Amino acid sequence: MSAPRRSTSLRDSFSDSERMEGTGSWDDALDWFKLEVQHPASSSVSHHANYKCLLEAERVLVEGRGVVLVNTDGAGTLLVTNFRLIFLSEGTENIIALGTIPLATIEKFSKMVVKNQSAPRHSERTPSQRFLQVIGKDMRIIVFGFRPKTKQRRAIYDGLLRCTKPSRLWDLYAFSCGPFKFTNANPKVRLLNEYFRLLGKGICRASMDMIDNGSYTMSNELWRICNVNSNYLMCPSYPFALIVPKSISDEEVIQASNFRSKGRLPIVSWCHPESGAVLARSSQPLVGLMMNMRSNTDEKLVAELCPQLGDEKKGQRKLYIADARPRKNALANVAMGGGSESSSNYLQSEVVFFGIDNIHAMRESLSRLRDYLDAHGTTSSDGTLSLLRHGGWTWGGGNLSNMSASVSTLGDSGWLIHVQSVLAGSAWIAARVALESASVLVHCSDGWDRTSQLVALANLLLDPYYRTFTGFQALIEKDWLAFGHPFAERGGMPTVSGSSDRSDLCRQSSVGSFSLPPMRPSSGSFSPPTPSSSHAQNQQSPIFLQWIDCVSQLLRMYPFAFEFSSAFLVDLLDCVLSCRFGNFFCNSEKERQQVGISEACGCLWAYLADLRSSEGRSHVHCNPFYSPLKHNGPLLPPAAALAPTLWPQFHLRWACPSEAQAGELEAQCRIMSIKFSKLQEAKEGAEKKAKETEIVVESLSAELRNEKQRSSSAMALAKRASMETAAIKRAIQSLGCKVHYASGGDTTVDIETSPVKISQKSVFSPFTRESVGIVQHEDKSDLSVSISVAADDVVSNNPFGRVCDTLCPLRTRDGGCRWPDAGCAQLASQFIGVKADYEALDSLSIYEGYFKTMEGGK
């Protein structure tokens, strides 16, 4: 069974206005039945305040309902805000990522009309379908379909026309939003801190006061920080501070700038901390039409970039002058006064050409790659996606990455060949510096496109610091932002002057009606016809995007060397292209300072750091394989390893989302890392609980020891009480009494003598400090006295006790009894004296006689 036939792309349809026989049509791709009026189609903003997807200061300008995203056949609501084109799913109003794109990321857009073929059995004329194609700088091509006989497409198109490319810089969303919570410190301070690190003065920290008073001009044995460009008069596209040879004066720096294009003289970008080799950058020399112009100051400055070698290698250091352009392009620049150096004019030098094409070749190459991927991806924008989905036919097995290793399979785009050229040139530069201790001067024509790519990538290979989050930020801010890569021109954004080229954005809206041919070639995708424009008029080019692509290739080759992941690079690129933050506005440091970008707009680096702070090392921006000790030196990839492949996370995320996911190994490692983090947290929790339990056990042990001490003390007291009891017993027995101890703790003293009337003064409590004396009467002739022992802290109301206390001459102030050393012991002789009286009254009960006396008294 043969595969279903695919319809021809709309790009081919534009050139053919005749009806052709065939079965494929846009009706196959769009199910208009799902758009039956559930919500009235309207371009007015009805309830935009209820949209939860809006960012800070984001406002809805135009709203269209019942719109179809052709790439996925999904229906929903299309919004144009002051920041994004947002596509929300029908009913749930969830953001559909493919159909949502920042306005600044839109490269171009156009209206299209497709005239459907009427079936032979139907006499009614089928209305034409209306579409809006949006091409993004982030490799996506999306198409929206609108219901016939509505004005929604026109409203959306007009909204995009007004907002996509504002004529003034401050009309961008970043100025409306402001810093918000992502405040931006002055980038000059960060640049000086990086300079201090390169000069070995990392202990010093820059400040705005240091910049204001000019006290940042530090130096070491070879290099110094020069402030000759602090007012940007010498070179408007260079930073305010420059690293130059220490032996070159400010006057010579100014003179040398006159010999270089745009005043971009040779400046140190990176210096080796041990060998003294440097990586410098500049623009092309102005050698003139006859190629015989020279500058003694420029030659002296370049010679000072090669200090004498150390003691181990005596002699002059080798100098390589790396021209990023093809040799023929360098010669062509002679007609405009430019050109390249002659090795005979520079001591110990060698000129090398890398053959990297210009910005226009890069722009066209990426455009061809985007069309190729859109044509062969699983979310094609040409309307034939329904055939692929419902027919079960997938191109190439639906796996672009299987063929991406081969450069030739990507058609004639040439993108991977350009990436390979940049990688090879950077690796060559790094090898010369690291292996030969040679100095390298890199330049192209103006020194801000290919030069930035090569120098920044060589820095990344040479210095492990630049492979961390903080170092990567410092690298971009130094070699891309401070050294004047024209981000506004390359991104098609307005500059400080307010000029912007709107002609490249707006395309012919009236393209006429045409029929859709039945078949489509195997390559290509539709795009509206565009008027030809000269290269000089279009300065847009994906130079920075290409450099990030090169970084992703190094990350693939050295997965243990980088702290950040491929997802971090994708989010970084998205932030740069979206213009949500102001870090990459304008064309130079001077322009950003004039506008006050750091104070007026949010900071991209603060936003990315805030994302990472939520999850720590388990965040998707962090490389789970990162091992700083494994690659703590330069990375020198061999030539055979410099075979680039498609960057799936960026190139394929829209055309083939299933292939854009992270590698299986990386995904498993990240899952394991998350599990490990959870186990680590559980371990820390268990250790914390164990520590708390240990503390509780120690506390209980201490209490047990205290209890043992108290028990020992109690036993000692009991022993002492036993000894005192024995002494009391002996003392009482010495009085002729018998002492009986009851099991309840009471003590009974029996006095065997004749009963006699005893005054209350003779009754005493012989043992306790506060006791209760009870006289008991029995039928026997013996006199029984019951003595109950009470606690010391119990205050007795017994009159006998008070008498005892009164008679005791040794009584202490607190009233405690000290028997047998007390005064009651002195009464012992009196008991012997009255014994005869007790015997005479033997028949008389003391208890009974006492109460008779009491009754007679009454």
* Separation CA 582–CA 597 (nearest Å): 6
pLDDT at 344 over 70: yes
Scanning 133-249, the segments in alpha helix (DSSP H) are 152-163, 173-177, 187-198, 208-213
* Separation CA 749–CA 739 (nearest Å): 5
* Separation CA 588–CA 488 (nearest Å): 9
Predicted local confidence at residue 25, as pLDDT: 39
Name the catalytic one among 444, 575, 601, 603.
Answer: 444
The answer to whether 284 and 295 are in contact (CB under 8 A) is: no
Q: What is the rounded average pLDDT of the residues 776-790?
A: 42
pLDDT at 771 over 60: no
Could you give the count of Cα atoms lying within 13 Å of 269 in the half-sphere of its Cβ?
A: 41
Active site residue 444: yes
pLDDT at 440 over 90: yes
pLDDT at 15 over 80: no
The answer to whether 208 and 232 are in contact (CB under 8 A) is: no
pLDDT at 552 over 60: yes
* pLDDT tens by residue, 811-828: 555 555 655 555 555 555
Predicted local confidence at residue 2, as pLDDT: 39
* pLDDT tens by residue, 713-756: 999 999 888 888 888 878 777 776 766 666 555 556 565 544 43
pLDDT at 576 over 90: yes
More confident call, 238 vs 309:
238
pLDDT at 331 over 50: yes
pTM summary value:
0.72
Predicted local confidence at residue 811, as pLDDT: 55
Give the whole-number percent of the chain exceeding pLDDT 70. 68
| Averaged pLDDT of the chain | 77
* pLDDT tens by residue, 105-129: 999 999 888 776 655 555 456 667 8
* Separation CA 23–CA 609 (nearest Å): 53
* Least confident range of 223-232, 711-720, 729-738, 835-844: 835-844
* DSSP string covering 636-663: ---GGG------HHHHSTTT-GGGSSPP
* pLDDT tens by residue, 412-436: 688 999 999 999 999 999 999 999 9
* DSSP string covering 705-773: HHHHHHHHHHHHHHHHHHHHHHHHHHHHHHTTEEEEE-TTS-EEEEE-S------GGG---SS-SS-EE
* Separation CA 228–CA 237 (nearest Å): 14
Predicted local confidence at residue 124, as pLDDT: 57
Predicted local confidence at residue 813, as pLDDT: 55
* Separation CA 342–CA 339 (nearest Å): 10
Residue 206 β-bridge partners: none
Predicted local confidence at residue 356, as pLDDT: 95
Confidence of residue 836 (pLDDT cuts 50, 70, 90): low
pLDDT at 757 over 60: no
* Separation CA 50–CA 48 (nearest Å): 5
Cis peptide before 528 (omega within 30 of 0): no
Predicted local confidence at residue 509, as pLDDT: 32
* Separation CA 36–CA 147 (nearest Å): 10
Predicted local confidence at residue 669, as pLDDT: 73
The answer to whether 106 and 11 are in contact (CB under 8 A) is: no
Give the whole-number percent of the chain exceeding pLDDT 90. 48
- Nearest Cα to 351, choosing from 289, 302, 421? 302
Q: What is the rounded average pLDDT of the residues 74-86?
A: 93
pLDDT at 228 over 90: yes
**Tokens for 405?**
């290793």
pLDDT at 300 over 80: yes
pLDDT at 767 over 70: no
* pLDDT tens by residue, 618-676: 788 999 889 999 999 999 998 777 888 889 899 989 888 877 765 566 667 767 777 87
* Separation CA 702–CA 164 (nearest Å): 75
* Least confident range of 72-76, 255-259, 377-381, 770-774: 770-774
- Nearest Cα to 81, choosing from 96, 107, 100, 109? 100
* Separation CA 540–CA 314 (nearest Å): 48
First-to-last C-alpha distance (Å) of the chain:
138
Q: What is the 3-state secondary structure (H, E, C) of 329-361?
A: HHHHHHHHCCCCCCHHHCCCEEEEECCCCCHHH
Predicted local confidence at residue 618, as pLDDT: 79
**Tokens for 826?**
């002195």
The answer to whether 675 and 592 are in contact (CB under 8 A) is: no
Q: How crowded is residue 200: how many other Cβ atoms within 10 Å of its Cβ? A: 13
Predicted local confidence at residue 386, as pLDDT: 34
Question: Cα-flanking dihedrals φ and ψ of residue 787, to 5°?
Answer: -115, 120
